[in-house]
Amino acid sequence: MQALEEGLAQSEEEAARPGDRGRLVTASFLMLFVELALIRGTAANIVYLLFFTNLVLLASFLGIGLGFLRAGRAPDRFGAAPVFLAAFVAFVLLFTVRIGPRVRLVGLAGTPAMPEWLSVPLIFVGAVLVMATIAGRVARLFGRFGTLEAYRLDVLGSIAGIVAFSALSFVGADPLAWTLVVAAAFAFLLRGELTGFVIGSLVVLIALGVVISLAPRDTWSPYQRVSRQPRTAYGKITLFVNNRRHQTLAPIDVLLAQQPYYAYPYTHLPGNDPGGVLIVGAGSGNDVAVALREGATHVDAVEIDPVLLRLGEELHPDHPYQDPRVTVYVDDGRAFLERTHATYDVILFALPDSLTLVSGQAGLRLESYLFTVEALRTVREHLRPDGVFAMYNYYRRDVFERYAATLARVFGHAPCLDRGNSGVGTSSQAVLTTSLEPGGISCHTPWMERGTAPELATDDHPFPYLMSRTIPAFYGATLAFVLLASVVLVRTGSGRPVRAMRPYVDLFFMGAAFLLLETKNVVQFALLFGTTWFVNSLVFAGILLSVLAAVETARRVRLPGPTVLFGSLILALLVVWVVRPESLLSLSPAPRFAAATALAFAPVFLANLIFARRFREVSASTVAFGANLLGAIVGGVLEYGALIVGYRALLMLVTLIYALAYLTRGRSRWALEDLND
């Protein structure tokens, strides 16, 4: 085995050349930037991926892992990366899948949509191919440096990639800006290799970015593509989000004539005086316009997507956001409720259905933390003595029963029910209204539980749209495909025998555990500070900075043996287990942030000290790094276990997998250090 490792190391060693540090940082930047762009772009065009953005993330991990495993064993195909990327983007545009009239899935120009069983695997394989060709160049540059120096440069490039993509999101940049950044990075890395074919591919890639970005009625928010249709004769404008109908801006008279449920909550108010109103999910302004018409003295309008707010300000026929009684907050609804000290006469959850997942997190949607038992208790605390809370939407029956039962538990009595029209499929309009005290509102039809309501959503299990604690069949089938494809591609496409990765099985386990730890941190910060894109970007940047700090520490400080380091990590995970995230919600923002940061990033730092110390001694850095990335795929699949056991239980799984990493550390120099301590 030692001879095999030495042979692999010799095949990969190549002296660093002038400028290689800059090239490695740029290649790592490109790799992460393209990964983020693929996740956003595919979800914006293929409705199958609206609730499975994790698929492209897993494909990216597999592609990067294959790229590292093939380094030194196969020809460098980096020059083909622009070709594959342009072909992938063209495929997504030509075989787009959207929800058309009468809820039919249609493709480009109304043609029949490519079936899910074909579209999803092709997207997965295409993303793997794109990322593998980019990662191959990263791996070759990686192998020219010492292990920790290479890892350090890779992390610096990744930090630059997430900062750049976040900055473009902040300014509302469209895919043309993404393609220009990507093309510039390719041009820099391919200097001296720019054949006519490669140049043509970059031109095609930019042209595709132009085609996407010049769509006259499309606007890109940090979360999604928002498309608007022309104003109708009745003054209505329909908004689509990621190829799915989402909102309609309408004059208030037309709105209430066609959808009277908007006004139902106000019919229950004592004295018909709305007073101060909080609207969560204010969107493009319909709910705000109704509140003003009903006589609200002040309206706090909270909306997470700045583009929806801006379109409402510009296009709503009644101009509700221009009214001096309205204050607008671009924020996550739960986060706003946790931070504000204001109380209200009326609090409305106004159709807060984002249709959007928190990027890369299994099953967690932007509004998931709004509908938990704990969230509605917070709502209760912000109601004035005679205050009223109402929520309305087109509810699926099980979701409606869950929400009604949650209100009954939190407020101590059954909510009032107003039914509207039937919606799509089994969904129907419904308004649930309640007050602090029984009899606090006038109500003709109180909700009555039919059978047993589904389990209530909680902060630990924030999946209000999940019928039961199970992994839906679509997720299960797709995850099985991901695992099968990973096994096949690693065995046939890596260019290495599987036994080459056996010395690094502990790094494989570290990759799986770290992905789960990263997921737990993203979810925890989403609960404590909101599911906004800015919070998520800060968390990912914080994780990468923790990785960088661990690498720098490992380069400069003599670390203890694995038993001490793993023991410290297990202790840190135990502390995180004991201190439940929701217990931090009672703290003011500054100490809450300090406590959350310490709890989240202490295990991340320790985990990366372990990884950096182990990685420093490997004989074949690209094989070791590839094994670690393949482990991340398993972690991404295991992440869906939260749908069954909740997010807190993931800590137990993280602890178990790190224990496996400790037990499988083998007889390396790293393992033998315990004998010398």
Q: What is the mean pLDDT of residues 408-434?
A: 83
* Cβ–Cβ < 8 Å for 79, 193: yes
What confidence score (pLDDT) does residue 2 get? 39
486 lies in the same domain as 544? yes
Q: Write the pLDDT tens digit of every residue in 566-608.
A: 999 999 999 999 998 888 887 888 888 888 889 989 999 999 9
Q: What is the mean pLDDT of residues 525-553?
A: 87
Would the pLDDT of 1 be above 50? no
Q: Mean pLDDT check: name the lowest of 247-261, 338-352, 492-506, 542-556.
A: 492-506
82 lies in the same domain as 174? yes
Would the pLDDT of 502 be above 90? no
Would the pLDDT of 500 be above 80? no
CA distance 595 to 589: 10
Would the pLDDT of 9 be above 60? no
Would the pLDDT of 135 be above 90? yes
In a domain, 226, yes or no: no
Q: What is the mean pLDDT of residues 394-409?
A: 90
In a domain, 583, yes or no: yes
Would the pLDDT of 676 be above 80? no
* Cβ–Cβ < 8 Å for 406, 457: yes
| Token pair recorded at residue 252 | 């208030």
191 lies in the same domain as 264? no
Note the Cα 403 to chain centre separation in Å.
Answer: 24
In a domain, 440, yes or no: no
Would the pLDDT of 649 be above 60? yes
pLDDT band at residue 657 using 50, 70 and 90 as cut-offs:
very high
SS3 of 380, please?
helix
Of 387, 396, 454, nearest in space to 424 by CA? 396
45 lies in the same domain as 173? yes
Residue 530 exposed, middle or buried by CB count within 10 Å (0-12, 13-18, 19+)? buried
Q: What is the mean pLDDT of residues 15-27?
A: 87
SS3 of 438, please?
coil
The CA-based dihedral angle spanning residues 263, 268, 274, 277, taken in that order and rounded to the nearest 10 degrees: -70
What confidence score (pLDDT) does residue 413 get? 94
What confidence score (pLDDT) does residue 501 get? 82
Q: Write the pLDDT tens digit of every residue in 103-125.
A: 788 888 889 999 999 999 999 99
Residues of the chain above pLDDT 90, percent: 57
pLDDT band at residue 422 using 50, 70 and 90 as cut-offs:
low
Of 326, 245, 317, 251, nearest in space to 282 by CA? 326
In a domain, 328, yes or no: yes
Q: Is the dihedral of CA 509, 515, 521, 523 positive or negative?
A: negative
In a domain, 619, yes or no: yes
Residues 6+ apart with CB under 8 A from 164: 29, 33, 181
Would the pLDDT of 557 be above 80? yes
Residues β-bridged to residue 298: 276
What confidence score (pLDDT) does residue 5 get? 40
In a domain, 456, yes or no: no
SS3 of 545, please?
helix
Q: What is the mean pLDDT of residues 547-567?
A: 91
**Runs of H (alpha helix) within 144-285:** 147-170, 175-189, 196-213, 252-258
170 lies in the same domain as 252? no
475 lies in the same domain as 379? no
Q: Among residues 419, 435, 451, which one ends one of the domains?
A: 435
473 lies in the same domain as 425? no
More confident residue, 395 or 276: 276
617 lies in the same domain as 509? yes
CA distance 62 to 323: 52
Residue 115 exposed, middle or buried by CB count within 10 Å (0-12, 13-18, 19+)? exposed
| Token pair recorded at residue 460 | 């630990």
Averaged pLDDT of the chain: 88
What confidence score (pLDDT) does residue 14 get? 63
201 lies in the same domain as 260? no
In a domain, 578, yes or no: yes
Could you list the residue range(s) of the whole structural domain that residue 409 is in? 235-355+373-435
Q: What is the mean pLDDT of residues 19-33?
A: 96
In a domain, 368, yes or no: no
Q: Whats the size of the chain, residue-wise? A: 677
Query: Residue 203: which CATH number?
Result: 1.20.1250
pLDDT band at residue 672 using 50, 70 and 90 as cut-offs:
low
Q: Mean pLDDT check: name the lowest of 85-99, 198-212, 483-497.
A: 483-497
Query: Residue 270: which CATH number?
Result: 3.40.50.150
Number of domains in the chain: 2
Of 273, 293, 262, nearest in space to 387 by CA? 273
The residue assigned the tokens 């046939």 is 492
Q: Among residues 415, 435, 455, which one ends one of the domains?
A: 435
587 lies in the same domain as 659? yes
Q: Is the dihedral of CA 631, 632, 633, 637 positive or negative?
A: positive
CA distance 630 to 651: 20
pTM of the model: 0.90
What confidence score (pLDDT) does residue 403 get? 93
Q: Among residues 384, 414, 435, which one ends one of the domains?
A: 435
249 lies in the same domain as 211? no
| Rg, the chain, Cα only | 26
524 lies in the same domain as 414? no
Would the pLDDT of 674 be above 80? no
CB-CB neighbours of 370 under 10 Å: 25
